[in-house]
Structure 1
Amino acid sequence: MGVTLIAERLFDGERILSEIAVTVGDSGIISSVGGGVSSSAERLPGLLVPGFIDIQVNGGGGVLFNQDPTVSALQKISEAHRQFGTSAFLPTLITDSLPVMQRAADAVSEAISSDVPGVTGIHFEGPHLSEAKKGTHEQGFIRHLSDDELSLYAREDLGIRLVTLAPECVAVSDIRKLVSLGVHVCLGHSNACADTVEAALDAGATGFTHLYNAMSPLHSREPGMVGTALIRDDAWCGLIADGHHVSPGAMALALKAKPRGKLLLVTDAMSLVGSDEISFPLFDRVVTREGDKLTSSTGELAGSHLDMIGAVRNICDWCGVELQEALRMASLYPAQFIGLGSGIITEGARADMVLLDEGLQVSRTWSQGREVFRRH
């Protein structure tokens, strides 16, 4: 049967249209855009845009995935982020023990099979990282890739699988193996030289996790990971546009250097997003929020308090990015990176959509055709 909505304005991923109908089938796929509509169709005031896709979500709603790797936790994280326009996300587990990784994988598998809104896979950020660039990750859990982790990453019941690793810590042959298993390999938390980074990209790695942060910097005689990320036109880069992880000037440089379509907005959000709490434990430390900045008791940044619509507004306000391009950075480009059939409102795409008001606040969110958030 499906449902038809009439958008006052619609950004379909390419252009803005006025007074346009969108029909969603029972399968959660868009069956048509445009065409005749009945007078009973619901009218949507504001701007209807593709749903946001966040490939790096550590937590939300007072829950950190590492501390509670369960389906109920994923439901709370989903509820926290969909109020900010996130219609699909990769729950992200930072460096931890193998049993915790396995429980997280089981939770994601169950969440996908039981249709928890937005859960489309899993992002393992570590544990195969550089201790020199570990950031807030727990050093005691950092380790080399073993057959146990390979077996975990090979699980096809996990949906979209993404692994962040340091290329100096994982053999090129193992990167090829991961890619052959259908894993998206991102490079990050690394002190690698440019040649090592290039070799990993040539072996099939396709992206960089939180550009600039926890990676070897650009120098005049050694491009490092940052320089290589900016140089390689074929690689995607995640960008935490919160003003703490990356300055507006560094964001502007990345926008100039990277081809259009290769910069993605991510949040790296922690448990405090969507909650009133101001601190939480992280392993043997405490993370505290001051304003929208999260700092560990040992001094380093510890994830972010950013949400996706906030990232869209920031990249527009600070870097002069046009709204349509900022929306693509939050939807179409991450969809293309991970191979998700969304990020655009067109026939045959997933019905992941967000309704924005004139102040670029989220009014409603749909995930695979289901309305999962409505602001009252």
Structure 2
Amino acid sequence: MKDYIIKGGKLVTSSGLVENSGLLVMRGKIALPGAMRPESLYSGFACTLYPGSRSIVQFPKASEDSGAYELIDATGMYITPGFIDLHVHGGCGFDVMDANARALREMAKYHASGGTTSFLPTVSAASPAQMTKALQAVAALSLRHTGGATILGAHLEGPFLNPASAGALDKNNLRPPDIKEMDSLLATAEGNLRMITIAPELPGIREVIRMNTREGVVVAAGHSRASYEETMQAIKYGVRYAVHTFNATTPMHHRDPGLLGAVLTAPEVVTEAIADNYHLHPAMLQLLLSIKGKRGATLATDAIRAAGMSDGTYKFSGRQITVQNGKTSTPGGTLAGSTITMAMAVRNAVRHGNISLPDAVRMASANPARVLGLEDQKGSLAPGMDADILLLDEDLEVRLVMVQGEIVIDRREQLKQVESK
């Protein structure tokens, strides 16, 4: 594995933009972020291996010209933590429900090209046999080398959802909570189930929430018509996340706040937004951030197999959907996932949602890392963190993607060719 020095550019941190004096990547980890002078940085130093760790690692003496490190020139670019997508069904013609390694690897490569360095392949509600097969495929590749983004585990969107708020999901695949089925899914996942979306109002859902919470699975609310009171009870039992906030649920009313009123006001719940300019008016991103605060919202794609493909007709959740100008919908006009990447979501948040770049990047990196309990490994440019790093140009286009210290996407030469014309 190569070691790198990233010179120049601006670091995008939670506190703002910082001039980069030199960021050292060593052994797949961020050894030291670029807040020091280069001449003192590379003359030999020591740092803790992980934040809060007492272990000290002494790095060898080296200069920029010694050949010990490969230099990456980030002049004129933004350096950000890699993006983490907690909700993604497919991309580049593949779907998680294809239930095979090739589909997942191609998805991992495609979404890496859009700035995603780790993600949760999302298993749609389907028959028990189909969900089991898809979950097995995800578990087999979790935390393995994909040539693209790292698969952190699976997200089950269903099957315990409300058919009245099915959205683009096939309502025939939605069913009442079943502890035996849930136990079987957990066993199949072998510790690789990281999130499950449920409807808080369904009878018997309390036991499902508690079972998953005990197993360390993040429980999310969505595809629901729950009342405010029902949702608050579910939060009491362990719900900590809300998928595609404002979508596939009843609208909020000032005398009947419903699920939205509960997840927006509960400080322990993190809310997810799909910033494709179709699922939400850009002003709703501002509203979400103003209510939940900088730590309380994430960006996700909810991307389907049509992402990265041309307009046309595709299959999602066993149903035919149409893509036109990037907008995905069922024949009845219901939105059906999205075709965006995480980098596109960040750009939309900045350009149309009037959200600052540091805040948009936090919503795409640090916040989802914290949802999964991985904030000591991913989501920031701190010593000891995984070297999941992006270089974005001034237009916030992805120019380089590094996953755990390995460059998987490099478009810097394309940038040089454009500049030379």
Which TM bucket (shorter chain)?
over 0.9
Query: 1:161 maps to what in 2?
Result: 194
1:48 pairs with 38, 62, 79, which one?
79
Query: 2:138 maps to what in 1?
Result: 108
Query: 1:38 maps to what in 2?
Result: 64
Query: 2:6 maps to what in 1?
Result: 6
Preserved contact between residue 2 and residue 23 of structure 1 (Cα < 8 Å): no
Query: Once the 2 structures are TM-superposed, how far is the Cα of residue 258 of structure 1 from its aligned partner?
Result: 1.2
Preserved contact between residue 240 and residue 268 of structure 1 (Cα < 8 Å): yes
Alignment of 1:83-122 (within 5 A): 83-112=113-142, 114-116=144-146, 117-122=149-154
Query: 1:138 maps to what in 2?
Result: 170
Distance in 1 separating the partners of 2:304 and 2:150 = 17
Preserved contact between residue 198 and residue 219 of structure 2 (Cα < 8 Å): yes
Distance in 1 separating the partners of 2:390 and 2:14 = 12
Distance in 1 separating the partners of 2:359 and 2:285 = 14
TM-score, normalised via structure 2 length: 0.85
Preserved contact between residue 365 and residue 373 of structure 1 (Cα < 8 Å): yes
Distance in 2 separating the partners of 1:188 and 1:349 = 31
Query: Once the 2 structures are TM-superposed, how far is the Cα of residue 318 of structure 1 from its aligned partner?
Result: 1.9
Preserved contact between residue 98 and residue 149 of structure 1 (Cα < 8 Å): no
Amino acid at match of 1:122: A
Larger mean CA deviation between 145-154 and 346-355 belongs to 145-154
5+ residue gaps, structure 1: none
Query: 2:60 maps to what in 1?
Result: none
Distance in 2 separating the partners of 1:221 and 1:79 = 46
Query: 1:246 maps to what in 2?
Result: 280
Q: What SS class does the counterpart of residue 315 from structure 2 fall into?
A: strand
Distance in 2 separating the partners of 1:171 and 1:128 = 8
The structure with the larger Rg is 2
Preserved contact between residue 349 and residue 355 of structure 2 (Cα < 8 Å): yes
Preserved contact between residue 60 and residue 271 of structure 1 (Cα < 8 Å): yes
Relative distance call for 1:279 and 1:320 in structure 2 (3 A) is same
Distance in 2 separating the partners of 1:331 and 1:370 = 18
| Residues 1:215 and 2:249 aligned together | yes
Preserved contact between residue 12 and residue 346 of structure 1 (Cα < 8 Å): no
Preserved contact between residue 81 and residue 274 of structure 1 (Cα < 8 Å): no
Larger mean CA deviation between 13-22 and 76-85 belongs to 13-22
Q: What SS class does the counterpart of residue 319 from structure 1 fall into?
A: coil
Preserved contact between residue 220 and residue 242 of structure 2 (Cα < 8 Å): yes
| Residues 1:368 and 2:400 aligned together | no
Q: What SS class does the counterpart of residue 150 from structure 2 fall into?
A: coil
Distance in 2 separating the partners of 1:273 and 1:172 = 35
Note the alpha carbon deviations across 1:62-111, whole angstroms, 9 max, x for none.
Answer: 11212x11111001111111111000010011111111111112111221
Amino acid at match of 2:116: T
Preserved contact between residue 4 and residue 21 of structure 1 (Cα < 8 Å): no
Relative distance call for 1:17 and 1:172 in structure 2 (3 A) is same
Query: 1:346 maps to what in 2?
Result: 382
- Which structure would you say has the larger RCO, counting Cα contacts within 8 Å and 6 or more residues apart? 1
Relative distance call for 1:114 and 1:217 in structure 2 (3 A) is same
Query: Once the 2 structures are TM-superposed, how far is the Cα of residue 183 of structure 1 from its aligned partner?
Result: 0.8
Distance in 1 separating the partners of 2:317 and 2:185 = 23
Distance in 2 separating the partners of 1:339 and 1:14 = 21
5+ residue gaps, structure 2: 35-40, 43-62, 415-421
Relative distance call for 1:283 and 1:356 in structure 2 (3 A) is closer
Q: What SS class does the counterpart of residue 286 from structure 1 fall into?
A: strand
Distance in 2 separating the partners of 1:154 and 1:50 = 33
Larger mean CA deviation between 7-16 and 316-325 belongs to 7-16
Query: Once the 2 structures are TM-superposed, how far is the Cα of residue 53 of structure 1 from its aligned partner?
Result: 0.4
Preserved contact between residue 136 and residue 189 of structure 2 (Cα < 8 Å): no
Query: Once the 2 structures are TM-superposed, how far is the Cα of residue 316 of structure 1 from its aligned partner?
Result: 1.2
2:106 pairs with 66, 76, 85, which one?
76
Larger mean CA deviation between 147-156 and 363-372 belongs to 147-156
Preserved contact between residue 218 and residue 227 of structure 1 (Cα < 8 Å): yes
Query: Once the 2 structures are TM-superposed, how far is the Cα of residue 296 of structure 1 from its aligned partner?
Result: 1.1
Query: Once the 2 structures are TM-superposed, how far is the Cα of residue 213 of structure 1 from its aligned partner?
Result: 0.3
Distance in 1 separating the partners of 2:382 and 2:235 = 32
TM-score, normalised via structure 1 length: 0.94
Distance in 1 separating the partners of 2:306 and 2:20 = 38
